A and B are shown apart, each in its own frame.
Chain A
Amino acid sequence: MLPPITLVFVIISKFSFLHPIQTISGHDVKIGIFSFILLCGVILIVGFLHLEYYTVIPTIACSKIALLGQLLHPRHFINSLVHCFMGVIVAWCCAVTMGLRYETLGYPCTESDGHPQMCLNEYHLILLLAGAFVGFSHSLLGVIYNMNYVSFHTVQQYKYLRFKRCLPLVVKCSATQALYSVRNYIVMYLFLGYIPRAWICKTLNLHLDSSVHPLDSIAGLLDLSLLYHLWSSATFLLLTWNITLLLFRIFVTEVYSFPVQSSFTEDSHQCLPKVLTEKQPMILKFLALQDLALLSQHSPSRRCEVFSLSQPGGHPHNWNAISKECLSLLTDLTQRLVAYHDTVATNGRAKSLSSGKDLMSPRPVFLMKTPASVFARSVAGTPQSPLTSLFTPDLDSPFASPALRRLTAPVDQCSPWYGTVQSPHIMRRAPKLWSTSTGEVEFQKSNISFSTHRSSNIQVLSNEVVKNFLAKRVLIMYLFNKLPEASSQALFADSQAHIWALEGLSYLVQASFSEDQFGVVQTTLPSILSCMLVLQEAVDRHFKLPHASSKPVRSTSSMGDSTYKTLRFALRATLKTAIYRITTTFGDHLNAVQISAEHRKRLQQFLEYKE
């Protein structure tokens, strides 16, 4: 991570001195340098936060209440607080470099009786608070728009070109976002501005200058130069942070070329087949998959290594590992889709809770791989059980903190005081309605907290009562209503991996037609084909559901990346292309492949270009 940070330094130094705010400063070099060092520190912290919080799989809240839960989650809360604090620091730097009336918090003034004392400089205060507000709103928006999600690009470009291309967009985004936050901030200050002012005055023993007009009035805030300075410092703040974010994204998603096989055993853990199978740093797995997709397309020499046999023994270990991992990814997605479809299909009928449990229990294996949110939400989509889906923590994310696990783990089994369930914090403790019946071992392995509970009839009954009670409140219903297509988005949240797996497999199979000397691909071709066809069927079925095929609204002017919203369409297109790639390459030779009659029929459709 050293190069991005150094680059950030360079960029930031350039920006801080070219910025209109900074250039005004014609005084006190010492403070200027100090504030510059502070700024660098802030950038470093922001970069560190990105490093800590970024994810390649977006968390998608399926209802408003889940979103609220996310926002109030301690992890994000700390993030927001840190952002807030750094906003104050940046604002202080801006204030110092702007000089003039913003420079210090207090200034000497004389009271009406001629007694000298220190008075509060409200301009300074308003600027600091603006920094805090903008920082806080930035982090909130970051959660709402999944700003921490890092998406990969379909088109590879050099880092500099990519940066150059994104820069105008970032500037535009920062300026507009600053405009909106300053507007909101001013409204807020107008009504609540006296609170921090009084507090500061009290703690720092400053006095209000009665001769100066207070700023939390309409006349006080309608000061154009003040507004301009607020806006420009907010823009500066957002710009530096967004550029950090942009650089971070660019560097994280840079293509990394893993060696396919290594001649030294100590390097073998860095090889592509090894990295692919590892679960933990998700980003590494993604990078490996991306590399696989690229190598299968562009580099014949590396493909050759994939098809090669191991030296003693003559086993195609590389190909076996790669194809096995890709296939398991795809099967995983298929099972997830089938399970989701089943739950949705049973939703239509009046389904008792026990049937819901039956549905869950035979498939504990998918459960732990499914993003918990989808499943909880979809199963609980029945009107009978709104409470079960109160929160949708994404425990799949590699960065799920222990705190979260503790919270969602079975905390309070004996306190079902449902009637007063109003705040998400309390709701968090409400017992779930079913358990993974496979028991404690399964539970620990999966780390997913479908909490164990006593499925007593009393609870079910009380739950019914609560439901009826809650259904009458419009606000609650608003909060609990499922956001359309969110569950579908959540289901395909990590589909980028599947897309690469499909591309990599299909290109490798295509290349194997002419390049595979030992026929290593032939042995796995039936399983690849049947896996893809089953997935194709599942995806087709999924897209017949309501909301699944509705397009999201395109949002252009935001730093948040919304590619995850369209991943399912990309997956569908890639899947079809992948099957066609294999069928066009092999043509009628596919009739010799051993697959089931149903799949053969399906394949025939592809061979005749009727899909």
Chain B
Amino acid sequence: MCSLALFPPPLPSGQTTLCESNNELLSGASTEDRLKQESSPLSLHFPRESLKLHSRTESSSKAAFLDHSETLWMRSAAAWRDGGFTGLLNEITNSHTEVPKWLSMSSGCILALLRWVSSFHGSLFPHLTLSSEDMIAEFSQVLNWSDCVVRAFAWHPHTDKFAVALLDDSIKIYNPKSATTPTLKHRLQRSVAAVQWKPLCASALAVACQNCLLVWHVDPCSLSTRPSSGCAQVLSHPGHSPVTSIAWSPSGSLLLSASPMDSTMMVWDVAAESCVPLQRVGGGGVSFLSWSPDGSHVLASTPSALFRVWETRMWTCERWPCVKGRCQSGCWSPDGSRLLFTVQGEMVIYALTFTDAPGVPTSTSQGPQAAAVVADLSETTFSTPDGDIVVGGEIQSLVWDPRGERLAVLLKGDPQAADRPAIIAVFKTRANPIFELLPCGFVQGEAGAEPRLMQFHPNFQHGALLTVCWSNGRITHVPFYFVSAGVPHFGLSGSPLLPHPQQRPADFVNQSLFTEFLS
């Protein structure tokens, strides 16, 4: 089993990872190296100060503006509109001078009963008591989402353009081939948890917002920098908010959305703006979705210790209960046959293998009810010139490059302790002839910047390109140059046969750390 102890030590402070070449990660110390890197796709910097932030939320400003001399009827109607049934009851209970005593008494009793029931429900599913912002932060794939300048990032699946959602609820679209960077703003676009481009389409971008889903249609030929909100389709369903995860089907026909508050998963037909709810009892919501690249399976994790794998032909699912915590993140191999996932509270990566027959999974080695552990990321101490650094711990997110050769793992670290930073560990992976994980190295940014979000470029010609969004608002791209194993090439290894660096022990590089025999 692969563990962090086999990794090369992290870089000293001040050094940043630039790229992988000749099977090793190269680092640079200063900005001239960075300038060299800027020649590859856009590197961006969003200083926090440049963003105009909302000083307060809508609910906090309500009391300052609402005219309280309205009649009881008006207030009740407003309460019904804003807060639903509980809001109405609250209003009636609070205005006990104007309503008959029995009415205020009874509504107070109902309210108390409701609270008691909801607290009972909340004790079953503790996440239901969170506010929607906290909930997005809890279930988002972004590390420390609420404090993050770049809240979501998405490469276009076919071209070199990407969308960046910022802290001020705007989305910018960058395209190296065009000078305009459209900025998308919409009244309903609040607390963006995820963005994703529609596959097989040049223009459609789905945005998961606090109360709804937005699908923007941004004409790539348009010169407008502020597309009007008429370009956005609003998809909403009562009870389905906040939306924390979305996934387009790889064929581009369907869009899935999930909310931790809602135990149904919505399958949207975006053009028709209609949805089919898929509901299964248990779990208390759906927090994370991931569609396998071949389109045959969908991973749907719930806020409790349970996740489901749906097959997409007849939309049936199988339950996978976890022992410890909820499934935090997951990713699929490019052929859709292998699922890697992590569980909250555990420091390992699990793998599940799916055979070709749809809906009949067979786990790799330990029977149908267990997944195989493929990597152990428990804490390991490295001694660097700046002192000991502890790396490891819980995993925030996993991404696999589209060729299935590099696996990037974002480790949470400990924000309080200085010697335990959040860090990205990169593995080399090979699926054939046997599934292997090999250490590659750590990706680090500037001093004081910790990684928040990462994504692989969907079609990078020379290997893999990892885009990382840092806590200081910078977005950088780390290329991994290698020759794909799919290309006929002499040598057994997935990496090109180039002379290994002399200073590194050879057993680091080609040692088979996790071996799995396909029966």
Binding site for B on A (CB under 8 A): 153-158, 161, 165, 297-298, 503, 551, 554, 563, 566-567, 569-570, 572-574, 576-577, 580-581, 584, 608-611
Contact = CB atoms under 8 A, between A and B. Distances in A.
A2 to B, nearest CB: 23
A581 B220 contact: no
A566 B315 contact: no
Given A157-B315, A165-B279, A580-B200, A570 B269 contact: yes
Given A580-B200, A609-B202, A610-B202, A154 B158 contact: no
Contacts of A609: 156, 158-159, 202, 220
B252 A563 contact: no
B68 interface: no
A566 B274 contact: yes
B251 interface: yes
14 contacts: A154-B272, A156-B313, A297-B251, A298-B313, A551-B273, A554-B273, A563-B272, A573-B201, A577-B201, A577-B251, A580-B158, A580-B201, A610-B221, A611-B202
B267 A155 contact: yes
Nearest to B237: A556
3 smallest CB-CB distances across A and B, nearest first, come from: A573-B271, A566-B272, A580-B200
A contact patch SS: helix
A610 B175 CA distance: 12
A610 B253 contact: no
B220 A610 contact: yes
Given A158-B316, A566-B271, 8 more contacts: A154-B254, A154-B276, A156-B313, A157-B315, A566-B274, A573-B271, A577-B252, A609-B159
Label chain B's interface by main secondary structure: loop
Nearest to A571: B271
A569 B272 contact: yes
Contacts of B273: 551, 554, 566
A573 B315 contact: no
Contact of B271 (A153, A155, A503, A572): A572
A458 to B, nearest CB: 49
Contacts of A156: 313-315
B6 interface: no
B270 interface: yes
Contacts of B345: none
Contacts, number: 77
Given A154-B269, A165-B279, A574 B220 contact: no
Given A297-B251, A577-B252, A570 B316 contact: no
Nearest to B175: A609
A573 B270 contact: yes
Nearest to A607: B158
A153 B251 contact: no
A154 B220 CA distance: 28
Output the residue of A154, A298, A503, A611 with the most chain B CB within 10 A: A154
A611 B158 CA distance: 13
Given A297-B251, A563-B274, A566-B274, A581 B316 contact: no
Interface in B210-255: 220-221, 251-254
B165 to A, nearest CB: 21
Interface of B: 156, 158-159, 200-203, 220-221, 251-254, 267, 269-274, 276-279, 313-316, 358
A495 to B, nearest CB: 11
Q: Which of B200, B220, B269 has most chain A Cβ within 10 Å?
A: B200
Given A155-B315, A158-B316, A165 B253 contact: no
Contacts of A154: 253-254, 267, 269, 272, 276
A162 B83 CA distance: 32
Nearest to A573: B271
Nearest to A299: B313
B251 A576 contact: no
Contacts of A584: 158, 200
A297 to B, nearest CB: 7
A165 to B, nearest CB: 7
A566 to B, nearest CB: 4
A165 B277 contact: yes
Contacts of B220: 609-611
Contact of A577 (B156, B158, B200, B274): B200
Contacts of B313: 156, 298
Contacts of B274: 563, 566
Contacts of A298: 313, 358
A503 B253 CA distance: 10
Of B271, B277, B315, B316, most A-chain CB atoms within 10 Å: B271
Contacts of A580: 158, 200-202, 252
Given A298-B313, A610-B202, A570 B272 contact: yes
Nearest to A582: B200
Nearest to B356: A300
B253 A574 contact: yes
Contacts of A297: 251
A153 B253 CA distance: 13
A606 to B, nearest CB: 8
A155 B276 CA distance: 8
Contacts of A608: 159
Nearest to B178: A610
Contacts of B276: 153-155, 157, 165
B271 A570 contact: yes
B315 A569 contact: no
Contacts of B253: 154, 503, 574, 577
A220 B316 CA distance: 54
A155 B272 contact: no
A580 B203 CA distance: 12
A377 B200 CA distance: 36
Contacts of B202: 580, 609-611
Contacts of B254: 154-155
A581 B200 contact: yes
Contacts of A503: 253
A566 B273 CA distance: 8
A610 B156 CA distance: 13
A601 B316 CA distance: 43
A195 to B, nearest CB: 41
A550 B276 CA distance: 23
Interface centre among A158, A161, A581, A609 (most CB of B within 10 A): A609
Nearest to A300: B356
Contact of A158 (B156, B200, B314): B314
Nearest to A581: B200
A145 B469 CA distance: 51
Contacts of B158: 580, 584, 609
A153 B277 CA distance: 12
Nearest to B198: A577
